[in-house]
Chains A and B, each alone.
Chain A
Amino acid sequence: MIDIIILGTISGIIYAFIALGFSLIYGVSGVVNLTHGAFFMIGAYIFGNLYKLLTYSIPSEFSHLTPIVALLATAIITGIIGCIYYRLTLHQVLGDEVTILIVSLFGCIIFQQIVYLIMGPVWAAQYPIPTIISETFTLWNVNIEIDRLIAAIVSLTSFIGLWIFTVKTRVGTAIRALSQDLEAAMLMGVSIEKMYILVAGIAAGLASIASVLKISAYSEPASILMWVEYMAYSFSIVILGGLGSLKGTLIGGLIFGYVYAIIESRFPQAGSLMPIAPFIIMILILVARPKGLFGKRIEME
């Protein structure tokens, strides 16, 4: 029982962090940006390449900084890609639901094929991300892997950082204003275009960090098709917790983490059915509670 609570909490926070960017962009602009899944994939590939590049170029006395520098650079690069992508495509069709869905889904495929063309068929199918720390320690008879713990701590820090950003800063206040009342915010001089592009960039950057943390902590190889699974994760968590609320996303992620921990420890024979678990959970959540567990859309708090 204790193992489910500890491991479920750790993985739950990581899952919540995966959904954070999607929750942000959905809560602020109401755009269902399916391309968000592709940024997980892009982030993993950029991090892998940067990490290889930096291990050769950074002098050996700073080598422990390599993952951090690579992670920050990945977040910035992916964020810029996210901004450009959003401005070029989705911003032009705001308000048209069907077009946004199709365009953003095809955006995923465009990114997927571009990565395939750049990386080649072998690395497109499986791209290993280096595991940075591979030690474990035991707490109350539960083996905890240190890199998962670090990933969870980084995720929680990012959550708090984003919360401080939206509550304390001027730009964050403007973003919250947009999510509460679009027209009133425009009258107060908030530029929709700039803010939406900024939010899209932040969401893409957060997605890349989340994917790198998840992949290196759970030592899964990246692949060009991983966006499908990550899209399912983020969508089901966001729906579970309520749309566009940071608190709801955290709760949704924790529920998801506990469910996964229970499945993993109690039903080990599920094995090859595990990859479709997020999709089944997603269908069940959407069909049972189409507006999320906590009722209707909550404003960013």
Chain B
Amino acid sequence: MPIRRYLRKAYTSFGTHIYDIPPRMFAFLSLILFSLLPLFNLPTTMLQPLISLNFITVLAVSWDFLVRSGQASLGHAIFFGIGAYGTALIFKYLGWQPLISIPLGVLSGVGIAFLIGFPCLRVKGPYFAIVTFAFPVVMTGIVKYFPELGKDAGIKNLPRIFPTLTYTQRWLAEYYLSFALMVLSAVIIYKIAYSKTGITFVSILDDDLAAKACGINVSKYRIMAFVISGLFASLAGGIAAHSDLFQRRASPTFLSSTYSFVPIIVSVLGGMGTIYGPLVGAYIYTFLDSFILKSIFKIDDFTRTLIFTVIVVILLLKWPRGIGRTIVEKLEDLEKPREIEEIEKEKR
């Protein structure tokens, strides 16, 4: 019985890998907390930042994955925008419903990632960053030029993914959809990043010449990182374009620099290059930004952006490890003394 064996394996891995290791226990507890949180009749104004938090996390995690392969992109919004515009165009001209159009939009995102990735192989370091910075700007110009792409207004009136729900239920459904997307993509990207393939990516980050000398096909792995990162970011874009949070339209907002910079802010807050760092950073960012600075201190958008940019620059200069990584290291330190004591007891 493969199912029974799989369940037993899942249970034993739960027992040993989640219960015993403090960071995983922490992650598991917060997973339960945030999947139960919306059930306590949260007002919509509190639910909206949480939904946008989920989309930002997907972007940030996929950006961080790209950084781990040595490609620090400054224009991650391109994938978010392409996912949104791809699904929207398929709906507008072919009339296909979200369940078909979103996967096809993601496919178009992957195709664009392929197309962009090949020329980007030639450039490295700062040049790569500059080229990726230019992509969303060029894409915005193209989108605003052609009337088929809706110009400034974008492609409006996309259908809802769950059409037959009441107002509150709709927000709840949107939250759970984005939460599931976030958890799934975070887990999958984490698994890839810490697998054997992921270690290959880090070797390219450290020294691509040495990696090449070890027989690693650097070009293949760089394209692979690009495509995986683009896949999750465009999936987030496709789902976001159908959500009420983004007014159910694919607009140039998706390509704006906000969605290139917020993933970077979030990753630096949490700790760059760790995958779990952006996750922690996204929650810290949203709670500081939407719940404390916006609702309590009533600070306007521009000042909040200024505050966060200054925080990120100071963090990068003085404390590049980030908050998430420090928390995880503290949690791992918790279990270390206990292990040593147990070993010493056994010796006695």
Contact = CB atoms under 8 A, between A and B. Distances in A.
A56 B254 CA distance: 45
Contacts of B261: 105-106, 109
Contacts of B141: 272-273, 275-276, 279
Contacts of B320: 99
Interface stretch (B119-127, B173-181, B287-295, B328-336): B119-127
B130 interface: yes
A117 B316 contact: no
A290 B316 contact: no
Interface in A86-110: 89, 92-93, 97-103, 105-107, 109-110
Contacts of A272: 141, 144-145
Contact of B123 (A110, A273, A287): A287
A113 B144 contact: no
Contacts, number: 101
A108 to B, nearest CB: 9
Interface string B220-240: 000000000000000000000
Given A101-B74, A117-B303, A286-B131, A107 B313 contact: yes
A228 to B, nearest CB: 7
Given A103-B317, A287-B122, A290-B122, A276 B302 contact: no
B312 interface: yes
B130 A89 contact: no
Contacts of A83: none
Interface in B308-325: 309-310, 312-313, 316-317, 320
Contacts of A232: 134, 137
B317 A98 contact: no
B94 interface: no
Interface in B51-74: 67, 72, 74
Contacts of A283: 119, 131, 134-135, 138
Tell which of B120, B133, B142, B320 has the most Cβ of chain A within 10 Å: B133
A32 B72 CA distance: 14
B25 interface: no
Interface in B164-212: none
A110 B138 contact: no
B268 interface: yes
Contacts of A239: 127
The bracket for how many chain A residues form the interface is 35 or more
B247 interface: no
B113 interface: no
A235 interface: yes
A69 B26 CA distance: 62
B250 interface: no
Contact of A97 (B120, B126, B144, B305): B126
B130 A102 contact: no
Contacts of B131: 282-283, 286-287
A273 B129 CA distance: 23
B316 A113 contact: no
A282 B134 contact: yes
B268 A102 contact: yes
B316 A228 contact: no
Nearest to B118: A287
**Is chain A's binding surface mostly helix, strand, loop or mixed?**
helix
Contact of B305 (A32, A113, A282, A287): A113
Interface in A112-160: 113-114, 116-117
A186 interface: no
Interface in B277-310: 302-303, 305-306, 309-310
B317 A93 contact: yes
Nearest to A31: B126
Contacts of B317: 89, 92-93, 103
A287 B309 contact: no
A149 B114 CA distance: 46
Given A98-B67, A273-B141, A279 B313 contact: no
Contacts of A97: 125-126
Contacts of B122: 286-287, 290
Given A99-B316, A107-B313, A286-B130, A228 B137 contact: yes
A283 B74 CA distance: 14
Nearest to B133: A105
Nearest to B265: A106
B264 interface: yes
A35 to B, nearest CB: 11
B76 to A, nearest CB: 12
A117 B302 contact: yes
B134 A102 contact: no
Nearest to B273: A98
A105 B127 CA distance: 14
A273 B142 CA distance: 7
B302 A113 contact: yes
A100 B133 CA distance: 15
Nearest to A279: B134
A235 B130 contact: yes
A32 B126 contact: yes
A213 B276 CA distance: 48
A272 B141 CA distance: 8
B264 A273 contact: no
Contacts of A280: 134, 138
Interface of B: 67, 72, 74, 119-120, 122-127, 129-131, 133-135, 137-138, 140-142, 144-145, 261, 264, 268, 302-303, 305-306, 309-310, 312-313, 316-317, 320
11 contacts: A98-B67, A105-B74, A106-B316, A113-B309, A232-B137, A276-B137, A276-B138, A279-B134, A282-B130, A287-B119, A287-B122
